[in-house]
Protein backbone atom coordinates (compact mmCIF):
# COMPACT_ATOMS: atom_id res chain seq x y z
CA UNK A 1 0.00 0.00 0.00
CA UNK A 2 1.28 3.47 -0.77
CA UNK A 3 1.30 6.03 2.00
CA UNK A 4 -0.52 9.40 1.40
CA UNK A 5 2.91 11.10 1.39
CA UNK A 6 4.08 8.71 -1.25
CA UNK A 7 1.07 9.20 -3.54
CA UNK A 8 1.34 12.97 -3.10
CA UNK A 9 4.96 12.74 -4.17
CA UNK A 10 3.99 10.64 -7.20
CA UNK A 11 1.31 13.14 -8.10
CA UNK A 12 3.83 16.03 -7.82
CA UNK A 13 6.30 14.12 -10.02
CA UNK A 14 3.56 13.45 -12.59
CA UNK A 15 2.61 17.13 -12.53
CA UNK A 16 6.24 18.17 -12.94
CA UNK A 17 6.67 15.77 -15.82
CA UNK A 18 3.53 17.25 -17.49
CA UNK A 19 5.00 20.73 -16.93
CA UNK A 20 8.31 19.66 -18.48
CA UNK A 21 6.47 18.17 -21.43
CA UNK A 22 4.45 21.31 -22.05
CA UNK A 23 7.58 23.48 -21.62
CA UNK A 24 9.45 21.31 -24.06
CA UNK A 25 6.58 21.58 -26.56
CA UNK A 26 6.61 25.34 -26.11
CA UNK A 27 10.38 25.42 -26.58
CA UNK A 28 10.28 23.38 -29.73
CA UNK A 29 7.58 25.69 -31.08
CA UNK A 30 9.75 28.73 -30.27
CA UNK A 31 12.67 26.97 -31.85
CA UNK A 32 10.70 26.35 -35.02
CA UNK A 33 9.73 30.04 -35.00
CA UNK A 34 13.37 31.11 -34.66
CA UNK A 35 14.40 28.78 -37.48
CA UNK A 36 11.65 30.25 -39.68
CA UNK A 37 12.80 33.78 -38.80
CA UNK A 38 16.40 32.91 -39.66
CA UNK A 39 15.39 31.57 -43.02
CA UNK A 40 13.29 34.68 -43.63
CA UNK A 41 16.33 36.82 -42.72
CA UNK A 42 18.45 34.78 -45.11
CA UNK A 43 15.86 35.38 -47.83
CA UNK A 44 15.83 39.11 -47.11
CA UNK A 45 19.66 39.26 -47.15
CA UNK A 46 19.64 37.41 -50.45
CA UNK A 47 17.03 39.82 -51.86
CA UNK A 48 19.05 42.83 -50.66
CA UNK A 49 22.21 41.45 -52.23
CA UNK A 50 20.32 40.82 -55.45
CA UNK A 51 18.92 44.38 -55.41
CA UNK A 52 22.37 45.81 -54.75
CA UNK A 53 23.88 43.69 -57.56
CA UNK A 54 21.13 44.87 -59.90
CA UNK A 55 21.76 48.49 -58.93
CA UNK A 56 25.50 48.14 -59.55
CA UNK A 57 24.88 46.38 -62.86
CA UNK A 58 22.34 48.97 -63.95
CA UNK A 59 24.71 51.81 -63.06
CA UNK A 60 27.62 50.28 -64.89
CA UNK A 61 25.61 49.42 -68.03
CA UNK A 62 23.99 52.83 -68.07
CA UNK A 63 27.28 54.67 -67.54
CA UNK A 64 28.97 52.55 -70.15
CA UNK A 65 26.24 53.22 -72.72
CA UNK A 66 26.37 56.95 -72.04
CA UNK A 67 30.08 57.23 -72.70
CA UNK A 68 29.98 56.68 -76.45
CA UNK A 69 27.43 59.38 -77.34
CA UNK A 70 29.03 61.78 -74.87
CA UNK A 71 32.43 61.15 -76.42
CA UNK A 72 30.91 61.91 -79.84
CA UNK A 73 29.38 65.19 -78.60
CA UNK A 74 32.73 66.21 -77.06
CA UNK A 75 34.60 65.48 -80.29
CA UNK A 76 32.04 67.30 -82.45
CA UNK A 77 32.23 70.36 -80.18
CA UNK A 78 36.02 70.29 -80.48
CA UNK A 79 35.80 70.12 -84.29
CA UNK A 80 33.39 73.06 -84.35
CA UNK A 81 35.52 75.12 -81.96
CA UNK A 82 38.65 74.36 -84.01
CA UNK A 83 36.74 75.78 -87.03
CA UNK A 84 37.37 72.57 -89.01
CA UNK A 85 34.09 73.08 -90.87
CA UNK A 86 34.30 76.83 -91.31
CA UNK A 87 33.99 79.91 -89.13
CA UNK A 88 31.60 80.42 -86.21
CA UNK A 89 29.93 83.62 -85.12
CA UNK A 90 30.64 84.82 -81.58
CA UNK A 91 27.17 83.69 -80.51
CA UNK A 92 27.63 80.25 -82.08
CA UNK A 93 30.97 79.90 -80.33
CA UNK A 94 29.32 80.67 -76.97
CA UNK A 95 26.63 78.10 -77.66
CA UNK A 96 29.08 75.40 -78.69
CA UNK A 97 31.18 76.10 -75.59
CA UNK A 98 28.07 75.70 -73.44
CA UNK A 99 27.31 72.39 -75.15
CA UNK A 100 30.88 71.23 -74.61
CA UNK A 101 30.88 72.24 -70.93
CA UNK A 102 27.58 70.46 -70.27
CA UNK A 103 28.70 67.34 -72.02
CA UNK A 104 32.01 67.35 -70.14
CA UNK A 105 30.11 67.72 -66.88
CA UNK A 106 27.91 64.78 -67.82
CA UNK A 107 30.97 62.75 -68.80
CA UNK A 108 32.53 63.41 -65.38
CA UNK A 109 29.30 62.31 -63.69
CA UNK A 110 29.09 59.15 -65.78
CA UNK A 111 32.72 58.36 -64.93
CA UNK A 112 32.00 58.81 -61.20
CA UNK A 113 28.90 56.60 -61.43
CA UNK A 114 30.84 53.92 -63.20
CA UNK A 115 33.62 54.09 -60.59
CA UNK A 116 31.08 53.89 -57.75
CA UNK A 117 29.35 50.91 -59.33
CA UNK A 118 32.71 49.20 -59.72
CA UNK A 119 33.68 49.88 -56.09
CA UNK A 120 30.32 48.57 -54.86
CA UNK A 121 30.60 45.45 -56.97
CA UNK A 122 34.13 44.90 -55.59
CA UNK A 123 35.54 45.18 -59.11
CA UNK A 124 38.04 48.00 -58.59
CA UNK A 125 41.57 46.76 -58.88
CA UNK A 126 44.17 48.51 -56.78
CA UNK A 127 47.59 48.55 -58.39
CA UNK A 128 50.16 49.90 -55.98
CA UNK A 129 53.55 50.99 -57.29
CA UNK A 130 56.38 53.20 -56.19
CA UNK A 131 55.95 56.80 -57.21
CA UNK A 132 57.56 60.13 -56.55
CA UNK A 133 55.73 62.69 -54.41
CA UNK A 134 57.18 65.51 -56.51
CA UNK A 135 55.66 63.99 -59.66
CA UNK A 136 52.25 63.66 -58.00
CA UNK A 137 52.16 67.30 -56.92
CA UNK A 138 53.47 68.64 -60.22
CA UNK A 139 50.91 66.61 -62.20
CA UNK A 140 48.13 68.04 -60.01
CA UNK A 141 49.52 71.55 -60.35
CA UNK A 142 49.56 71.18 -64.15
CA UNK A 143 46.00 69.85 -64.17
CA UNK A 144 44.58 72.83 -62.29
CA UNK A 145 46.66 75.57 -63.95
CA UNK A 146 44.15 76.24 -66.77
CA UNK A 147 41.26 76.49 -64.29
CA UNK A 148 43.12 79.04 -62.17
CA UNK A 149 43.74 81.46 -65.01
CA UNK A 150 42.59 84.88 -63.80
CA UNK A 151 41.09 83.48 -60.59
CA UNK A 152 41.27 85.34 -57.27
CA UNK A 153 42.27 82.11 -55.55
CA UNK A 154 45.85 80.87 -55.19
CA UNK A 155 46.56 77.16 -55.37
CA UNK A 156 49.65 76.37 -53.30
CA UNK A 157 51.42 73.02 -53.04
CA UNK A 158 53.60 72.92 -49.93
CA UNK A 159 56.83 70.96 -49.69
CA UNK A 160 55.93 67.55 -48.10
CA UNK A 161 56.93 67.37 -44.41
CA UNK A 162 58.72 64.29 -43.00
CA UNK A 163 57.44 62.13 -45.83
CA UNK A 164 59.77 59.84 -47.83
CA UNK A 165 60.26 60.95 -51.45
CA UNK A 166 58.63 57.77 -52.68
CA UNK A 167 55.37 56.19 -51.58
CA UNK A 168 54.03 52.76 -52.42
CA UNK A 169 50.32 52.93 -53.21
CA UNK A 170 47.92 53.25 -56.15
CA UNK A 171 48.85 56.79 -57.11
CA UNK A 172 46.06 57.08 -59.69
CA UNK A 173 43.44 56.50 -57.02
CA UNK A 174 45.24 58.86 -54.62
CA UNK A 175 45.38 61.49 -57.36
CA UNK A 176 41.63 60.98 -58.04
CA UNK A 177 40.86 61.68 -54.35
CA UNK A 178 43.07 64.78 -54.27
CA UNK A 179 41.65 66.03 -57.57
CA UNK A 180 38.16 65.96 -56.14
CA UNK A 181 39.24 67.68 -52.89
CA UNK A 182 41.07 70.39 -54.86
CA UNK A 183 38.29 70.93 -57.40
CA UNK A 184 35.75 71.20 -54.56
CA UNK A 185 37.99 73.63 -52.68
CA UNK A 186 38.38 75.79 -55.80
CA UNK A 187 34.63 75.59 -56.47
CA UNK A 188 33.63 76.73 -53.00
CA UNK A 189 36.31 79.41 -52.49
CA UNK A 190 35.82 82.78 -54.12
CA UNK A 191 38.95 84.39 -52.75
CA UNK A 192 41.99 83.49 -50.72
CA UNK A 193 43.90 80.30 -50.94
CA UNK A 194 43.70 76.58 -51.48
CA UNK A 195 46.68 74.84 -49.89
CA UNK A 196 47.73 71.25 -50.51
CA UNK A 197 50.00 69.58 -47.96
CA UNK A 198 51.46 66.15 -47.27
CA UNK A 199 52.65 65.32 -43.80
CA UNK A 200 53.82 62.25 -41.87
CA UNK A 201 50.99 61.46 -39.46
CA UNK A 202 52.34 58.77 -37.15
CA UNK A 203 52.58 55.00 -37.52
CA UNK A 204 53.33 54.32 -41.15
CA UNK A 205 50.89 56.89 -42.44
CA UNK A 206 50.88 60.04 -44.49
CA UNK A 207 48.09 62.64 -44.48
CA UNK A 208 47.33 64.74 -47.52
CA UNK A 209 45.22 67.78 -46.69
CA UNK A 210 43.48 70.35 -48.89
CA UNK A 211 42.75 73.51 -46.93
CA UNK A 212 40.61 76.29 -48.35
CA UNK A 213 39.40 79.71 -47.29
CA UNK A 214 35.96 79.13 -48.78
CA UNK A 215 32.36 79.11 -47.60
CA UNK A 216 32.85 76.31 -45.04
CA UNK A 217 30.39 73.62 -43.96
CA UNK A 218 28.26 73.42 -40.80
CA UNK A 219 28.93 70.58 -38.33
CA UNK A 220 25.51 69.09 -39.13
CA UNK A 221 26.21 68.98 -42.87
CA UNK A 222 29.70 67.55 -42.37
CA UNK A 223 28.07 64.34 -41.11
CA UNK A 224 26.34 63.59 -44.43
CA UNK A 225 28.88 64.94 -46.93
CA UNK A 226 30.43 61.61 -47.79
CA UNK A 227 27.12 59.97 -48.77
CA UNK A 228 26.14 59.48 -52.43
CA UNK A 229 24.52 62.45 -54.20
CA UNK A 230 24.82 64.87 -51.26
CA UNK A 231 25.08 68.50 -52.32
CA UNK A 232 24.60 71.27 -49.81
CA UNK A 233 22.41 74.27 -50.32
CA UNK A 234 24.48 77.38 -51.05
CA UNK A 235 24.41 80.22 -53.58
CA UNK A 236 27.60 78.78 -55.15
CA UNK A 237 25.98 75.36 -55.45
CA UNK A 238 23.12 76.88 -57.41
CA UNK A 239 25.56 78.35 -59.94
CA UNK A 240 27.82 75.32 -60.31
CA UNK A 241 26.50 71.91 -60.96
CA UNK A 242 28.07 68.57 -60.13
CA UNK A 243 26.73 65.21 -59.17
CA UNK A 244 27.50 65.01 -55.45
CA UNK A 245 29.40 61.78 -56.03
CA UNK A 246 32.99 63.03 -55.72
CA UNK A 247 33.29 62.80 -51.94
CA UNK A 248 31.50 59.48 -51.58
CA UNK A 249 33.78 58.01 -54.24
CA UNK A 250 36.84 59.56 -52.56
CA UNK A 251 35.87 57.95 -49.25
CA UNK A 252 35.50 54.52 -50.84
CA UNK A 253 38.77 54.86 -52.75
CA UNK A 254 40.64 55.93 -49.57
CA UNK A 255 39.31 52.82 -47.81
CA UNK A 256 40.52 50.66 -50.70
CA UNK A 257 43.98 52.20 -50.23
CA UNK A 258 43.84 51.14 -46.55
CA UNK A 259 43.10 54.66 -45.33
CA UNK A 260 40.32 57.09 -44.52
CA UNK A 261 39.05 60.59 -45.26
CA UNK A 262 38.17 63.34 -42.78
CA UNK A 263 36.74 66.83 -42.89
CA UNK A 264 36.92 69.75 -40.50
CA UNK A 265 35.33 73.04 -41.35
CA UNK A 266 33.91 76.26 -40.05
CA UNK A 267 31.21 78.14 -41.96
CA UNK A 268 32.56 81.39 -43.36
CA UNK A 269 36.17 80.48 -42.52
CA UNK A 270 37.03 77.47 -44.66
CA UNK A 271 37.42 73.70 -44.78
CA UNK A 272 40.11 71.06 -44.54
CA UNK A 273 39.54 67.80 -46.40
CA UNK A 274 42.18 65.18 -45.63
CA UNK A 275 43.03 61.66 -46.68
CA UNK A 276 45.30 59.49 -44.56
CA UNK A 277 46.86 56.41 -46.15
CA UNK A 278 49.74 54.06 -45.39
CA UNK A 279 53.13 55.16 -46.78
CA UNK A 280 53.43 51.66 -48.15
CA UNK A 281 50.43 49.50 -48.92
CA UNK A 282 50.89 46.06 -47.42
CA UNK A 283 49.95 42.69 -48.90
CA UNK A 284 46.71 42.72 -46.88
CA UNK A 285 45.64 45.98 -48.50
CA UNK A 286 46.67 45.01 -52.01
CA UNK A 287 47.16 41.65 -53.62
CA UNK A 288 50.51 42.79 -54.93
CA UNK A 289 53.54 43.25 -52.69
CA UNK A 290 56.38 45.70 -53.36
CA UNK A 291 58.75 44.28 -55.95
CA UNK A 292 61.26 47.07 -56.37
CA UNK A 293 62.49 49.45 -53.72
CA UNK A 294 63.44 52.91 -54.89
CA UNK A 295 67.16 53.69 -54.69
CA UNK A 296 66.87 56.14 -51.78
CA UNK A 297 64.27 54.20 -49.80
CA UNK A 298 65.27 53.47 -46.19
CA UNK A 299 63.12 51.17 -44.05
CA UNK A 300 61.64 52.83 -40.96
CA UNK A 301 63.49 52.30 -37.63
CA UNK A 302 61.24 49.51 -36.40
CA UNK A 303 62.08 47.59 -39.55
CA UNK A 304 58.55 47.55 -41.01
N1 LIG B 1 35.68 72.57 -49.89
C2 LIG B 1 34.36 72.65 -49.76
N3 LIG B 1 33.78 73.78 -49.23
C4 LIG B 1 32.43 73.85 -49.08
N5 LIG B 1 31.56 72.87 -49.42
C6 LIG B 1 32.08 71.74 -49.93
C7 LIG B 1 33.49 71.58 -50.13
N8 LIG B 1 33.70 70.35 -50.65
C9 LIG B 1 32.49 69.79 -50.78
N10 LIG B 1 31.52 70.61 -50.36
C11 LIG B 1 30.06 70.31 -50.34
O12 LIG B 1 29.91 68.91 -50.42
C13 LIG B 1 29.11 68.56 -51.56
C14 LIG B 1 29.52 67.23 -52.09
O15 LIG B 1 30.81 67.29 -52.72
P16 LIG B 1 31.12 66.26 -53.87
O17 LIG B 1 32.51 66.44 -54.30
O18 LIG B 1 30.69 64.91 -53.40
O19 LIG B 1 30.08 66.67 -55.01
P20 LIG B 1 30.15 67.85 -56.07
O21 LIG B 1 31.50 68.50 -56.05
O22 LIG B 1 28.95 68.71 -55.87
O23 LIG B 1 29.94 67.04 -57.43
P24 LIG B 1 31.04 66.11 -58.14
O25 LIG B 1 32.27 66.04 -57.30
O26 LIG B 1 30.35 64.78 -58.21
O27 LIG B 1 31.23 66.74 -59.46
C28 LIG B 1 29.31 69.73 -52.51
O29 LIG B 1 28.26 69.81 -53.43
C30 LIG B 1 29.35 70.90 -51.55
O31 LIG B 1 28.04 71.25 -51.17
MG1 LIG C 1 33.28 67.34 -56.13
Atom of ligand 1 nearest to the CA of 184: 8
Are 59 and 109 a contacting pair, CB within 8 Å?
no
Q: Whose CA is nearest to atom 7 of ligand 1?
A: 184
Residue 185 Cβ < 6 Å to ligand 1: yes
Atom of ligand 1 nearest to the CA of 231: 29
pLDDT digits (tens, 9 = 90+) for 124-164: 888 899 999 999 999 999 889 888 878 889 999 999 999 99
Atom of ligand 1 nearest to the CA of 109: 26
Q: Considering the entire predicted model, what is its pTM?
A: 0.72
How many residues appear in the chain? 304
Distance 151 CA to ligand 1 centre (A): 19
Residues lower than pLDDT 70 in the chain: 1-4, 235-241, 283-304
Q: What is the pLDDT of residue 100?
A: 92
Q: What is the pLDDT of residue 238?
A: 57
Q: Whose CA is nearest to atom 28 of ligand 1?
A: 231
Q: How far apart are CA 3 and CA 32, in angstroms?
A: 43
Q: How far apart are CA 1 and CA 82, in angstroms?
A: 119
Residue 245 Cβ < 6 Å to ligand 1: yes
Distance 23 CA to ligand 1 centre (A): 60
Rounding to the nearest 10 degrees, give the CA dihedral for residues 2, 7, 9, 10.
100
All structural domains of the chain = 1-124 (1.10.287), 129-285 (3.30.565.10)
Residue 225 Cβ < 6 Å to ligand 1: yes
* Ligand minimally distant from the alpha carbon of residue 247: 1
Q: How far apart are CA 37 and CA 27, in angstroms?
A: 15
Q: What is the pLDDT of residue 301?
A: 38
Amino acid sequence: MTSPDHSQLLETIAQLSRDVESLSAELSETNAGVVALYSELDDRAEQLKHASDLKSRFLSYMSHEFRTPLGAINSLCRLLLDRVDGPLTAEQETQVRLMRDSSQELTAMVDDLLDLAKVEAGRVSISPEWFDMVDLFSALRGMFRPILNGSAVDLVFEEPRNVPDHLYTDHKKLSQILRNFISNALKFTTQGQVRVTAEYSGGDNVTFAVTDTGIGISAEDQATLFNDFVQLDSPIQKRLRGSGLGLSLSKKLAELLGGCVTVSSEPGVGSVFAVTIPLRMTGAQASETPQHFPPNWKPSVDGR
